[in-house]
Amino acid sequence: MPAPRRPHVGYPPQYGQPPRGETGRGLAAIVIMAVGVAIGALITVLTVLNPPSSPPSTSPTGGGEHSEVSVRQAVQPALDAYSSGLYGDFWDLWTVEAQGLIAREEYVRLFEICPPPVTNSPLTISTVTITGDSAKVEAARLGETTEFGFVFESSAWRYEPSPEERLTYQAPVDQIAAQRRALGLCGATTPSPGATAPTDPTAPTTPTNPGDPSVPTNPGDPSAPTNPGDPSTPTNPGDPSAPSGPTNPGDPSAPTNPDIQPPGFQQ
């Protein structure tokens, strides 16, 4: 007869209902997985409907009105006004505080009495350096470079005079022009329309009435005859001792009338 089977000792049965703790852990894992799937789906939907914006530019020139391109576009009209001789328009683009240094009319008059040696020569911007609301612009013409300062004020880039220029405008305009003229910094002045040309004190004065022979040709010269058509008129009316008739009062032998020979002259 076969030997009877012995029961397995120390091993749980492989069938039947699982313990109550294991059932709770399984349900919790299912819930967590479901929540994770839902969150992932929500993030995917939000990403598709509202993509993230591009990161801000890290360019050294910045962006907006403080970019190098914006500064060049704003500054060039001011430099064009200055180089073309529109000094009033250039003054209009100064900062409000700088406009208090010199009146617009006086600034324009300064260039009328002392124009720059070079006119109508455009300024070309070479470099732009931006520091916050300030910008240094280097512009060149005819091989020379000049630095201009600008400040961002009232949503626009406006010209800011240098400390040396500010010191200059503390003097009257006529004094500034005289100093620049002495240094050879003034060009040729153009007379304004209708202006009277300066007279030369050494030039002879024209007669007051050229149709009247009694008017002296040069009243400043006493040796001119009062009436050159009258031989009886003294050659020099300012000299009472001069003879009334002789053509050459300095030669007593010269006859008053060349057709009449002096006494003792034989043909």
Cβ burial of 230 (10 Å; 0-12, 13-18, 19+) is: exposed
Task: Choose the weakest-confidence range: 90-94, 168-172, 230-234.
Answer: 230-234
Structure tokens at 8: 């397995």
Averaged pLDDT for residues 123-144: 95
pTM tops 0.85, yes or no:
no
Averaged pLDDT for residues 78-88: 95
Inter-CA distances, 214 with 130, 203, 204, 222, 237, Å: 78, 21, 17, 14, 13
**Matching residue, tokens 């022009």:** 177
Q: Check residue 211 and give its pLDDT.
A: 53
Averaged pLDDT for residues 172-189: 93
Q: Residues 161, 94: contact at Cβ < 8 Å?
A: yes
Beta strands in the chain (DSSP E): 124-131, 134-141, 144-153, 156-160
Averaged pLDDT for residues 4-20: 53
Averaged pLDDT for residues 187-206: 51
